[in-house]
Amino acid sequence: MKGPFIVVATTLAIAVASPVLAEPWTVAVDANLTLTQNAYSDNWVGGEAGALFWTFNSNSLAEKQLYAKVHNKNTLKLCFGQTHNQDQETKTWAKAVKSTDLIDLESVFRFTLGGFVDPFAAGRVQTQFLDASDSDKSRSLNPLTFTESFGVARVLTKKERREGTTRLGAGLRQHLNRDVLDPLTNKRETQTSNDGGLVFVTDFKTPLAQDRITLISKFTLFQALFSSESDELNGQPNENYWKSPDVNWENTFTAGITKYLMVNLYIQLLYDKEIDLEARFKQTLSLGLTYKLI
């Protein structure tokens, strides 16, 4: 166990001893809002009903070579959208239903020592704005997943608009789910669990179709080697589900039609055997307004 701590302590000592670079932060914020709406009067015939769909997406980046041997990259992804539907007969509007929801913040420190690979340490927080899984109680910023990882990283390519990096290392995850209703006691309690294992992450960004389309892809694989719930699951049909790898593959295609008008295609493939035995798929195609704040 002393080996990893010696490596981390050595790299931190090198970082502290290195002078602070005067280079500014590279900051980018890309936000877009899509909206679709239709409505009908109370005496409209034909069975049509009004609807309102809206989605907000934001991708933020802040990176800098902090020291001669330390590079820091921070990414923040925000998504939230709702669907409002009108009753066909009464024309009254039903309660809004959430269509997408995500908060994903990650910070990666890469120690640029000049070797074939670079040591790294990273932290990630994943949650959502509103947890609507319980009809009796809405919970904000729930559930929460914290991931800490360290290992080796390599820059595959880095050009003006094309960049690819990959990371491999050890990871620890903590899961927090607040105010969960116990059907037996009818009481609410906070559920926590943790696991650890190997983590593999690849980030890739590149222009397509003569720079008219941008692809941003992120592939994450987590292979758990231990879980705090293994003893509780012993003897149950799903006792070994936590041993299966968790996969999250996100792809975003963005095409700018004009300066403020864009088409956005988001495709996500998820696999977590503890949630569902089959892979889950999500696809969102939107046309709306976009604005680069920085």
**pLDDT, tens digit, 9 for 90 and up, residues 206-248:** 999 888 899 999 999 999 999 999 988 998 999 999 999 999 9
> Which phi and psi (to 5°) does residue 11 adopt?
-65, -35
- Which of the residue ranges 81-85, 198-202, 287-291 would you say has the lowest mean pLDDT? 287-291
Q: What pLDDT score does 92 carry?
A: 79
Q: For residue 12, is it left (φ>0), alpha (ψ between -120 and 50) or beta?
A: alpha
Residue 285 has pLDDT above 70, yes or no: yes
Across the range 33-45, mean pLDDT stands at 76
What's the domain count of the chain?
Answer: 1
Q: Which of 71, 68, 77, 63 is nearest to 21 (CA)?
A: 68
Query: How far is the C-alpha of 61 from the C-alpha of 165, rounded, in Å?
Result: 15
85 by DSSP, 3-state: which? Answer: strand
Q: What is the mean pLDDT of the chain?
A: 87
Q: What is the pTM of this model?
A: 0.85
The 10s digit of each residue's pLDDT in 160-212 is 889 999 999 999 999 999 998 888 888 899 999 999 999 999 999 999 988 88
**Residue type for position 160:** E
Whether 118 is covered by a domain: the verdict is yes
Domain coverage including residue 194: 2-24+65-71+97-292
Q: What pLDDT score does 33 carry?
A: 86
* Percentage of residues of the chain with pLDDT beyond 90: 54
Q: What pLDDT score does 4 carry?
A: 44
Whether 102 is covered by a domain: the verdict is yes
Q: What pLDDT score does 3 carry?
A: 46
Query: How far is the C-alpha of 211 from the C-alpha of 100, rounded, in Å?
Result: 28
More confident residue, 48 or 294: 48
Q: What pLDDT score does 96 carry?
A: 87
Whether 160 is covered by a domain: the verdict is yes
Q: What pLDDT score does 120 carry?
A: 97
Q: What pLDDT score does 35 carry?
A: 82
Query: How far is the C-alpha of 146 from the C-alpha of 201, rounded, in Å?
Result: 16
Query: How far is the C-alpha of 223 from the C-alpha of 267, rounded, in Å?
Result: 22
More confident residue, 76 or 31: 76
Whether 140 is covered by a domain: the verdict is yes
**In the beta sheet, which residues pair with residue 150?**
121, 170
Per the structure block, which two tokens stand in for 64? Answer: 């800098």
Task: Specify whether the CB–CB gap between 81 and 100 falls below 8 A.
Answer: yes
- Which of the residue ranges 92-106, 234-248, 254-268 would you say has the lowest mean pLDDT? 254-268
Confidence of residue 253 (pLDDT cuts 50, 70, 90): very high
Confidence of residue 288 (pLDDT cuts 50, 70, 90): confident
More confident residue, 36 or 245: 245
More confident residue, 11 or 220: 220
